[in-house]
Amino acid sequence: MKRAFCVAMVALLLLTPTVLAKDAIIIGFTMSQTGKYNSESKEQYQGLKLWADDVNAQGGIYVKSLDKKLPVKLVFYDDESSKDRVQQLYAKLITEDNADFLISPYSSGLTASAAIIAEQYGKIMIATGAASDSIFNKGYKHIFQVYTPASRYLTGAIDMLKAADPNAKRVAIVYENSKFAKDVCTAVKEYAEENGFDVVLFEPYSSGTTDFTSFINKILASNPDAIIGGGHFADGENFAKQLYEKRVKVKLISLLVAPAVPEFAEIGDAALYVTGPSQWEPQAKYSKEIAEKLGVEWYGPTVEQFVEQYKSAYGYEPGYHAAGGYVAGLILQKAIEDAGTLDTEKVKEALEKMDIMTFYGRISFDTGEYYGRQKGHEMVYLQWQKKNGELIKEVVWPEEAKSADLVYPLYIKFEEGPTEAGTEVVETTVTEKTPGFELVFAVAGLCATYILRRKVI
């Protein structure tokens, strides 16, 4: 009898070592310490590490079923920006390092590779740094996206235009012929048409294009209210610069990637009033008060707290890659706390039910056909404005995140001179030329000339 009891106890201990000896929550991931994603991946890692440091400084994450806090342990490897290496390393993280949960690598391509392994082993993976929709239509049940998906990358530009000017209906979409830009711009074309806009031009340009003259001629011929599109930094910067040089008078310009990069300001007034989407900006004004108005729970540090903590740790202001890394950890923390356990299925249920507001914005997940795809978070739209003679970025959309009003229409910089940030923006109905407007100015000009001549005589 005693022998049977001892055998049973040994078996129990062998079956449940993690429960009896659990002293940390192991979070596994890869980062691109080398290769083409090195820079973005480093920022993502620094954000995630800052979150882990914050959690561990408070004793860890409280796990109700264990009635104690467990510190977070980050385990990671260099994926060398390689899809093949990603799969090998995520299998290792699960089978050898016993990771409890996973964070994705940076980029949609590497995340797609990691997702196959995570799903195969039934491990929850928080996918940050990955905007692709296609990862989420494969039937996976353990992958949860942080970024606003590519299909909604530029749709906010249509919402912003509609809110600023209900009469603006003509949109030109000119975009780089790359998979990312094409997917984004195809989605915004469909969205614009669904919302009653007339897409008067839908034109791709080759990657590496530096001369946009022919495209600008087509834009002028189509007479749009807004220009939307772009692709990456170099082409977007050139496009914006040449639109300015040609003095193309449109009401709104919203481009991918380029406006979000600080170096965009180097093109001077060509950058002025240009808008662009970003996953997050330090100027975003998400707050507990906004969460209360929306009827959702606020969770985690404020925008100001995150920015100051990041600057203190790394010596410079965080961008959206770092914010995405931090909030990936924050989402996992919230799900574990809500589940009260480290059990995968229970944590998965908590993620399915999640609807919170963080410094990064609203977070909730699709549970339908695109299971795990982000549905709560919106892109923020920044606009380059002037303050004290210097170009600065302001968040102008959505309403709950904005740090300044949208300066609209863009072409006022050609007619009235740059508007300083913080000053009242002239409404479209006043700024636009209406029938007879030119005549009024012409008569006023003649009167002024006559008076001056009388004085000279």
Q: Which residue among 374, 406, 434 closes a domain?
A: 374
Q: How far is CA 268 from CA 42, 244, 281, 389, 411, in A?
A: 29, 10, 21, 11, 15
> What's the predicted TM-score (pTM) here?
0.84
Whether 42 and 55 share a structural domain: yes
Question: Do 324 and 280 form a contact (C-beta atoms < 8 A)?
Answer: yes
Which among 335, 304, 306 has a CA at the least distance from the CA of 323?
306
pLDDT of residue 20: 52
| pLDDT reported for residue 226 | 98
Are residue 128 and residue 214 in the same domain, yes or no?
A: no
- Of 274, 198, 199, which Cα lies nearest the Cα of 237? 274
pLDDT band at residue 417, thresholds of 50, 70 and 90?
A: low
What pairing do the DSSP bridges indicate for beta strands 226-230 and 170-176?
parallel
Distance CA 415, CA 16 (A): 74
Give the residue from 324, 359, 374 where a domain finishes: 374
The predicted pLDDT at position 150 comes to 93
Per-residue pLDDT, 293:
95
The backbone torsions φ and ψ at residue 270, rounded to the nearest 5 degrees and listed phi first, read: -65, -25
Nearest by Cα to 230 from 172, 272, 190, 284: 172
> What per-residue confidence (pLDDT) applies to 407?
97
**Residues 292-317: tens digit of each pLDDT:** 999 999 999 999 999 999 999 999 99
Report how many domains make up the chain: 2
Are 170 and 266 found together in one domain?
A: yes
Residue 11 forms part of a structural domain: no
Is 120 found in the same domain as 170? no
**Which domain does 43 fall in, by range?**
25-148+283-374
CATH number, position 106: 3.40.50.2300
State the DSSP code for 419: P
